[in-house]
Amino acid sequence: MGVDTKVISFVTAYNLTCPHPGQWELRAKVKNCSSIENYVCLFDAVQLTFAEICKKPQLERKGNKLFLNKGNFDRKPCSPTHYQPFRFNSFGNTNCTHLKSPCSEEGQVIADNHTSYSDRSCRCDYRRGFALIVNTSQPCSCMPSKEDCSCYLKTCSMNEVLSQGNQDKKNENNNDDTKDKTLENVDYNCINETQQQGTYQCPSILNRGSRTPATDVVPVDVFVPISYIKGKSF
Q: Summarize pLDDT for 61-95 with one digit per residue, the tens.
A: 999 999 999 999 999 999 999 999 999 999 999 99
Q: Which has more confidence, 192 or 57?
A: 57
Quote the CA–CA distance of 45 and 178 in Å, as a whole number: 58
Q: Summarize pLDDT for 167-183 with one digit per residue, the tens.
A: 555 544 444 443 443 34
Burial of 39 (0-12, 13-18, 19+ CB in 10 A): buried
Domain boundaries, the chain: 2-99+214-228, 101-210
On whether the pTM is more than 0.75, the answer is no
Q: How confident is the model at residue 96 (pLDDT cuts 50, 70, 90)?
A: very high
Q: Summarize pLDDT for 201-212 with one digit per residue, the tens.
A: 788 886 544 444
Cβ neighbors of 233 (< 8 A, separation 6 or more) are: none
Quote the CA–CA distance of 64 and 57 in Å, as a whole number: 15
